[in-house]
Protein backbone atom coordinates (compact mmCIF):
# COMPACT_ATOMS: atom_id res chain seq x y z
CA UNK A 1 0.00 0.00 0.00
CA UNK A 2 2.77 2.44 0.94
CA UNK A 3 4.67 1.69 -2.26
CA UNK A 4 1.52 2.32 -4.27
CA UNK A 5 1.00 5.70 -2.56
CA UNK A 6 4.61 6.62 -3.18
CA UNK A 7 4.29 5.80 -6.86
CA UNK A 8 1.10 7.86 -7.08
CA UNK A 9 2.84 10.82 -5.40
CA UNK A 10 5.70 10.59 -7.90
CA UNK A 11 3.31 10.39 -10.85
CA UNK A 12 1.27 13.33 -9.52
CA UNK A 13 4.43 15.43 -8.97
CA UNK A 14 5.72 14.64 -12.44
CA UNK A 15 2.34 15.51 -13.98
CA UNK A 16 2.22 18.79 -12.06
CA UNK A 17 5.73 19.75 -13.16
CA UNK A 18 4.94 18.88 -16.78
CA UNK A 19 1.74 20.93 -16.68
CA UNK A 20 3.61 23.84 -15.10
CA UNK A 21 6.37 23.64 -17.71
CA UNK A 22 3.82 23.57 -20.53
CA UNK A 23 2.05 26.62 -19.09
CA UNK A 24 5.27 28.59 -18.66
CA UNK A 25 6.43 27.66 -22.16
CA UNK A 26 3.15 28.78 -23.70
CA UNK A 27 3.38 32.11 -21.87
CA UNK A 28 7.13 32.67 -22.29
CA UNK A 29 6.76 35.17 -25.12
CA UNK A 30 4.22 37.31 -23.25
CA UNK A 31 5.57 40.28 -21.34
CA UNK A 32 4.83 40.02 -17.59
CA UNK A 33 3.74 43.67 -17.67
CA UNK A 34 1.60 43.43 -20.81
CA UNK A 35 -2.05 44.52 -20.50
CA UNK A 36 -4.59 41.75 -19.93
CA UNK A 37 -6.89 40.50 -22.72
CA UNK A 38 -9.80 42.29 -21.04
CA UNK A 39 -7.84 45.56 -20.99
CA UNK A 40 -6.95 45.24 -24.66
CA UNK A 41 -10.48 44.49 -25.83
CA UNK A 42 -12.24 47.11 -23.71
CA UNK A 43 -9.71 49.82 -24.56
CA UNK A 44 -10.02 49.12 -28.29
CA UNK A 45 -13.80 49.20 -28.05
CA UNK A 46 -13.72 52.50 -26.15
CA UNK A 47 -11.28 54.01 -28.66
CA UNK A 48 -13.46 52.95 -31.57
CA UNK A 49 -16.57 54.53 -30.06
CA UNK A 50 -14.69 57.67 -29.04
CA UNK A 51 -13.21 58.43 -32.45
CA UNK A 52 -15.51 56.84 -35.04
CA UNK A 53 -17.33 60.12 -35.57
CA UNK A 54 -14.15 62.17 -36.11
CA UNK A 55 -14.25 63.84 -39.54
CA UNK A 56 -10.85 65.55 -39.49
CA UNK A 57 -8.42 65.32 -42.40
CA UNK A 58 -8.93 64.23 -45.99
CA UNK A 59 -7.94 61.32 -48.20
CA UNK A 60 -4.70 61.52 -50.17
CA UNK A 61 -5.66 62.88 -53.58
CA UNK A 62 -2.35 62.90 -55.45
CA UNK A 63 -2.90 59.18 -56.03
CA UNK A 64 -6.31 59.07 -57.77
CA UNK A 65 -7.30 55.65 -56.40
CA UNK A 66 -6.81 56.74 -52.78
CA UNK A 67 -8.97 59.81 -53.24
CA UNK A 68 -11.99 57.57 -53.84
CA UNK A 69 -11.56 55.16 -50.91
CA UNK A 70 -14.51 55.44 -48.50
CA UNK A 71 -13.34 57.96 -45.89
CA UNK A 72 -15.65 56.45 -43.27
CA UNK A 73 -13.82 53.11 -43.17
CA UNK A 74 -12.30 52.59 -39.73
CA UNK A 75 -10.69 49.52 -38.22
CA UNK A 76 -8.42 48.76 -35.26
CA UNK A 77 -6.45 45.55 -34.66
CA UNK A 78 -3.99 44.50 -31.97
CA UNK A 79 -1.83 41.38 -32.10
CA UNK A 80 0.22 40.45 -29.05
CA UNK A 81 3.53 38.61 -28.88
CA UNK A 82 1.73 35.53 -27.58
CA UNK A 83 -0.46 35.42 -30.67
CA UNK A 84 -3.71 36.94 -29.41
CA UNK A 85 -5.78 39.06 -31.81
CA UNK A 86 -8.15 41.84 -30.73
CA UNK A 87 -10.06 43.80 -33.33
CA UNK A 88 -12.96 46.14 -33.92
CA UNK A 89 -14.45 47.86 -36.97
CA UNK A 90 -13.50 47.43 -40.63
CA UNK A 91 -10.56 45.11 -40.07
CA UNK A 92 -11.27 42.84 -43.06
CA UNK A 93 -11.05 45.60 -45.67
CA UNK A 94 -7.88 45.31 -47.76
CA UNK A 95 -6.17 48.67 -48.23
CA UNK A 96 -2.80 49.51 -49.77
CA UNK A 97 0.09 49.31 -47.34
CA UNK A 98 1.83 52.34 -48.90
CA UNK A 99 4.80 53.66 -46.89
CA UNK A 100 4.49 51.11 -44.10
CA UNK A 101 6.06 48.82 -46.71
CA UNK A 102 9.30 50.76 -46.17
CA UNK A 103 9.72 49.14 -42.76
CA UNK A 104 9.72 45.63 -44.16
CA UNK A 105 11.83 46.33 -47.24
CA UNK A 106 14.37 47.83 -44.84
CA UNK A 107 14.16 44.64 -42.78
CA UNK A 108 14.75 42.54 -45.91
CA UNK A 109 17.72 44.67 -46.99
CA UNK A 110 19.24 44.23 -43.54
CA UNK A 111 18.69 40.47 -43.74
CA UNK A 112 20.71 40.44 -46.98
CA UNK A 113 23.41 43.03 -46.29
CA UNK A 114 23.50 43.56 -42.53
CA UNK A 115 22.58 46.76 -40.67
CA UNK A 116 25.96 48.49 -40.96
CA UNK A 117 26.08 48.34 -44.75
CA UNK A 118 22.47 49.46 -45.10
CA UNK A 119 23.11 52.43 -42.80
CA UNK A 120 26.21 53.37 -44.79
CA UNK A 121 24.38 53.21 -48.11
CA UNK A 122 21.09 54.81 -47.07
CA UNK A 123 21.63 56.95 -43.96
CA UNK A 124 19.46 57.20 -40.88
CA UNK A 125 18.86 60.86 -40.05
CA UNK A 126 15.44 62.56 -40.04
CA UNK A 127 15.15 65.03 -42.91
CA UNK A 128 12.84 67.59 -41.32
CA UNK A 129 11.14 67.76 -44.74
CA UNK A 130 8.00 66.26 -46.31
CA UNK A 131 8.36 62.55 -47.13
CA UNK A 132 8.55 63.21 -50.89
CA UNK A 133 10.90 66.20 -50.71
CA UNK A 134 13.21 66.64 -53.69
CA UNK A 135 15.33 69.46 -52.15
CA UNK A 136 16.14 67.11 -49.24
CA UNK A 137 17.92 64.78 -51.68
CA UNK A 138 20.24 67.64 -52.61
CA UNK A 139 20.71 69.08 -49.13
CA UNK A 140 21.05 65.99 -46.90
CA UNK A 141 24.65 64.76 -46.50
CA UNK A 142 23.55 61.18 -47.17
CA UNK A 143 21.22 62.38 -50.00
CA UNK A 144 18.93 59.40 -49.39
CA UNK A 145 18.09 60.73 -45.91
CA UNK A 146 16.67 57.67 -44.17
CA UNK A 147 14.82 54.51 -45.22
CA UNK A 148 11.37 55.91 -44.40
CA UNK A 149 11.28 58.94 -46.70
CA UNK A 150 10.73 58.28 -50.40
CA UNK A 151 14.33 58.89 -51.46
CA UNK A 152 15.74 56.51 -48.86
CA UNK A 153 12.99 53.98 -49.48
CA UNK A 154 13.63 53.87 -53.24
CA UNK A 155 17.35 53.47 -52.56
CA UNK A 156 16.60 50.69 -50.05
CA UNK A 157 14.43 48.88 -52.60
CA UNK A 158 17.29 49.13 -55.09
CA UNK A 159 19.49 47.18 -52.64
CA UNK A 160 17.34 44.05 -52.75
CA UNK A 161 19.09 41.31 -54.70
CA UNK A 162 17.56 39.62 -57.72
CA UNK A 163 18.34 38.73 -61.32
CA UNK A 164 15.81 41.28 -62.55
CA UNK A 165 12.99 43.52 -61.26
CA UNK A 166 10.52 40.63 -61.43
CA UNK A 167 12.69 38.51 -59.11
CA UNK A 168 13.20 41.43 -56.72
CA UNK A 169 9.49 42.11 -56.54
CA UNK A 170 8.71 38.42 -55.93
CA UNK A 171 11.24 38.33 -53.07
CA UNK A 172 9.79 41.47 -51.45
CA UNK A 173 6.21 40.21 -51.69
CA UNK A 174 7.18 36.81 -50.25
CA UNK A 175 8.94 38.50 -47.33
CA UNK A 176 5.88 40.64 -46.56
CA UNK A 177 3.73 37.51 -46.66
CA UNK A 178 6.01 35.76 -44.17
CA UNK A 179 5.80 38.73 -41.83
CA UNK A 180 1.99 38.76 -42.06
CA UNK A 181 1.57 34.99 -41.86
CA UNK A 182 -0.72 35.09 -44.89
CA UNK A 183 -0.41 35.32 -48.65
CA UNK A 184 -0.46 38.97 -49.66
CA UNK A 185 -0.96 40.30 -53.17
CA UNK A 186 -0.78 43.43 -55.28
CA UNK A 187 -3.84 45.68 -55.58
CA UNK A 188 -3.45 46.20 -59.31
CA UNK A 189 -5.70 49.27 -59.48
CA UNK A 190 -3.60 51.03 -56.85
CA UNK A 191 -0.39 50.13 -58.66
CA UNK A 192 -1.67 51.45 -62.00
CA UNK A 193 -2.92 54.64 -60.34
CA UNK A 194 0.43 55.26 -58.66
CA UNK A 195 2.53 54.28 -61.67
CA UNK A 196 0.67 56.85 -63.76
CA UNK A 197 1.44 59.65 -61.30
CA UNK A 198 4.92 58.86 -59.91
CA UNK A 199 7.00 61.39 -61.86
CA UNK A 200 8.16 62.91 -58.55
CA UNK A 201 9.63 59.59 -57.45
CA UNK A 202 11.27 59.15 -60.84
CA UNK A 203 12.88 62.57 -60.42
CA UNK A 204 14.09 61.53 -56.96
CA UNK A 205 15.59 58.34 -58.40
CA UNK A 206 17.60 60.29 -60.97
CA UNK A 207 18.89 62.67 -58.31
CA UNK A 208 19.95 59.66 -56.26
CA UNK A 209 21.82 58.39 -59.33
CA UNK A 210 23.61 61.74 -59.59
CA UNK A 211 24.98 61.22 -56.06
CA UNK A 212 25.65 57.48 -56.48
CA UNK A 213 22.98 56.70 -53.90
CA UNK A 214 20.86 54.26 -55.89
CA UNK A 215 22.13 50.75 -56.45
CA UNK A 216 20.15 49.47 -59.44
CA UNK A 217 18.43 50.97 -62.48
CA UNK A 218 16.62 54.09 -61.18
CA UNK A 219 13.30 53.72 -63.02
CA UNK A 220 13.17 49.96 -62.45
CA UNK A 221 13.74 50.59 -58.75
CA UNK A 222 10.89 53.12 -58.70
CA UNK A 223 8.60 50.58 -60.34
CA UNK A 224 9.39 47.89 -57.77
CA UNK A 225 8.95 50.47 -55.00
CA UNK A 226 5.56 51.47 -56.46
CA UNK A 227 4.47 47.83 -56.40
CA UNK A 228 5.53 47.35 -52.79
CA UNK A 229 3.44 50.37 -51.81
CA UNK A 230 0.45 48.84 -53.63
CA UNK A 231 0.38 45.60 -51.65
CA UNK A 232 -3.02 44.98 -50.07
CA UNK A 233 -3.30 44.29 -46.34
CA UNK A 234 -6.08 44.22 -43.78
CA UNK A 235 -5.71 45.79 -40.36
CA UNK A 236 -5.29 42.41 -38.69
CA UNK A 237 -2.66 41.28 -41.24
CA UNK A 238 -0.77 44.53 -40.68
CA UNK A 239 -0.96 44.05 -36.91
CA UNK A 240 0.62 40.59 -37.30
CA UNK A 241 3.46 42.18 -39.29
CA UNK A 242 4.01 44.63 -36.45
CA UNK A 243 3.77 41.93 -33.80
CA UNK A 244 6.49 40.03 -35.66
CA UNK A 245 8.81 42.97 -34.91
CA UNK A 246 7.52 43.22 -31.34
CA UNK A 247 8.31 39.52 -30.89
CA UNK A 248 12.04 39.81 -31.69
CA UNK A 249 11.41 39.20 -35.39
CA UNK A 250 9.45 35.96 -34.93
CA UNK A 251 5.91 35.82 -36.31
CA UNK A 252 3.76 35.07 -33.24
CA UNK A 253 1.14 33.27 -35.34
CA UNK A 254 3.40 30.99 -37.39
CA UNK A 255 6.47 30.76 -35.14
CA UNK A 256 8.74 31.57 -38.09
CA UNK A 257 11.79 33.76 -37.47
CA UNK A 258 11.26 36.33 -40.23
CA UNK A 259 13.66 39.09 -39.14
CA UNK A 260 16.98 38.62 -37.36
CA UNK A 261 16.56 39.51 -33.70
CA UNK A 262 19.58 41.83 -33.72
CA UNK A 263 18.10 43.89 -36.57
CA UNK A 264 14.82 44.70 -34.84
CA UNK A 265 16.10 47.54 -32.58
CA UNK A 266 17.52 49.39 -35.61
CA UNK A 267 14.19 49.10 -37.44
CA UNK A 268 12.21 50.37 -34.46
CA UNK A 269 14.65 53.20 -33.73
CA UNK A 270 14.17 54.51 -37.26
CA UNK A 271 10.40 54.22 -36.86
CA UNK A 272 10.56 56.43 -33.78
CA UNK A 273 12.74 59.05 -35.51
CA UNK A 274 11.11 59.19 -38.94
CA UNK A 275 8.04 56.95 -39.01
CA UNK A 276 5.52 59.78 -39.16
CA UNK A 277 7.66 62.02 -41.38
CA UNK A 278 7.81 65.62 -40.17
CA UNK A 279 5.27 64.74 -37.47
CA UNK A 280 7.64 62.21 -35.88
CA UNK A 281 9.00 64.49 -33.16
CA UNK A 282 5.56 65.41 -31.88
CA UNK A 283 4.54 61.74 -32.04
CA UNK A 284 7.52 60.69 -29.91
CA UNK A 285 6.74 63.51 -27.47
CA UNK A 286 3.05 62.68 -27.06
CA UNK A 287 2.74 58.93 -27.73
CA UNK A 288 6.21 57.42 -27.37
CA UNK A 289 5.80 54.27 -29.46
CA UNK A 290 7.72 53.40 -32.67
CA UNK A 291 5.26 53.75 -35.53
CA UNK A 292 5.04 54.03 -39.30
CA UNK A 293 2.29 55.66 -41.32
CA UNK A 294 1.09 55.16 -44.87
CA UNK A 295 -0.87 57.61 -47.01
CA UNK A 296 -3.42 54.88 -47.65
CA UNK A 297 -4.70 55.80 -44.19
CA UNK A 298 -3.02 53.34 -41.86
CA UNK A 299 -0.54 53.55 -38.99
CA UNK A 300 1.31 50.60 -37.49
CA UNK A 301 2.72 51.03 -33.95
CA UNK A 302 5.03 48.46 -32.35
CA UNK A 303 5.51 47.94 -28.61
CA UNK A 304 8.56 45.69 -28.09
CA UNK A 305 7.79 42.57 -26.07
CA UNK A 306 4.05 43.28 -25.97
CA UNK A 307 2.59 43.53 -29.48
CA UNK A 308 1.46 45.89 -32.22
CA UNK A 309 -1.57 47.98 -33.07
CA UNK A 310 -2.69 48.72 -36.63
CA UNK A 311 -5.33 51.35 -37.34
CA UNK A 312 -6.92 52.08 -40.71
CA UNK A 313 -8.82 55.33 -41.34
CA UNK A 314 -8.15 57.07 -44.69
CA UNK A 315 -8.35 60.84 -43.94
CA UNK A 316 -4.88 62.32 -43.41
CA UNK A 317 -3.37 65.43 -41.84
CA UNK A 318 -1.05 67.75 -43.77
CA UNK A 319 1.99 65.59 -43.00
CA UNK A 320 0.33 62.53 -44.57
CA UNK A 321 -0.63 60.71 -41.36
CA UNK A 322 -4.08 59.30 -40.59
CA UNK A 323 -5.90 61.66 -38.24
CA UNK A 324 -8.02 59.00 -36.52
CA UNK A 325 -5.19 56.48 -36.31
CA UNK A 326 -2.99 58.95 -34.46
CA UNK A 327 -5.76 59.70 -31.97
CA UNK A 328 -6.60 56.02 -31.44
CA UNK A 329 -3.02 54.93 -30.83
CA UNK A 330 -2.38 57.90 -28.54
CA UNK A 331 -5.50 57.03 -26.54
CA UNK A 332 -4.59 53.34 -26.31
CA UNK A 333 -1.00 54.14 -25.30
CA UNK A 334 -2.24 56.38 -22.51
CA UNK A 335 -4.91 54.01 -21.19
CA UNK A 336 -2.68 50.93 -21.27
CA UNK A 337 0.50 52.64 -20.08
CA UNK A 338 2.63 51.54 -23.05
CA UNK A 339 4.50 54.75 -23.83
CA UNK A 340 8.09 53.46 -23.98
CA UNK A 341 9.43 56.58 -22.31
CA UNK A 342 7.18 56.10 -19.27
CA UNK A 343 8.16 53.90 -16.33
CA UNK A 344 4.70 52.32 -16.48
CA UNK A 345 5.72 50.55 -19.70
CA UNK A 346 7.98 48.25 -17.66
CA UNK A 347 5.57 47.83 -14.76
CA UNK A 348 6.71 50.65 -12.45
CA UNK A 349 4.05 52.84 -10.88
Domain residue limits, the chain: 37-346
pLDDT tens per residue across span 285-338 = 999 999 999 999 999 999 999 999 999 999 999 999 999 999 999 999 999 999
Q: Which residues contact 201 (CB under 8 A, 6 or more apart)?
A: 132, 150, 154, 222, 225, 226
* 333 and 339 Cβ atoms separated by less than 8 Å: yes
* 64 and 193 Cβ atoms separated by less than 8 Å: yes
Is 148 labelled a binding residue? no
The pLDDT, as a whole number, for residue 214 is 97
pTM of the model: 0.90
* 187 and 231 Cβ atoms separated by less than 8 Å: yes
Look at residues 111, 119, 126, 65 and name the one whose alpha carbon lies nearest to residue 296.
65
Q: Where are the extended beta strands (E) located within the chain?
A: 75-80, 85-89, 95-96, 185-186, 231-233, 291-294, 298-303, 307-312
Task: Say what angle helices 218-229 and 101-113 make with each other, to 10 degrees.
Answer: 130
The pLDDT, as a whole number, for residue 33 is 72
HSE of 238 in the Cβ direction (CA atoms, 13 Å)? 35
Mean pLDDT of 172-190: 98
Q: Percent of the chain beyond pLDDT 70?
A: 92
CATH number 3.40.710.10 given to 37-346 = yes
pLDDT tens per residue across span 95-145 = 999 999 999 999 999 999 999 999 999 999 888 888 888 888 998 899 999
pLDDT tens per residue across span 203-235 = 999 999 999 999 999 999 999 999 999 999 999
Q: What band does 92 get if pLDDT is binned at 50, 70 and 90?
A: very high
Instruction: Look at residue 59 and tell me whether its pLDDT is greater than 80.
Output: yes
Is 295 labelled a binding residue? yes
Is 48 labelled a binding residue? no
DSSP 250: B
The pLDDT, as a whole number, for residue 28 is 59
Look at residues 97, 133, 60, 102 and name the one whose alpha carbon lies nearest to residue 317.
60
pLDDT tens per residue across span 136-148 = 899 889 999 999 9
Amino acid sequence: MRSTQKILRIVFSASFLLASFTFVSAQSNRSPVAPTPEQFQSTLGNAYEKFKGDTGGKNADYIPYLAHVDSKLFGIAVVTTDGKLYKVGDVEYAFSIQSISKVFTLALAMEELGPDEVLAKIGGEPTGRPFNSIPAVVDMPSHAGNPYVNAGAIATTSLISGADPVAKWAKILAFYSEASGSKLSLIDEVYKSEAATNTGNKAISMLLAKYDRIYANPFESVDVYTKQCSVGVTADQLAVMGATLANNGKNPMTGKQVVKQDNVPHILAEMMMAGLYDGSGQWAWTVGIPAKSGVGGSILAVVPGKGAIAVFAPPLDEAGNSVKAQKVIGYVADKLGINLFAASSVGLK
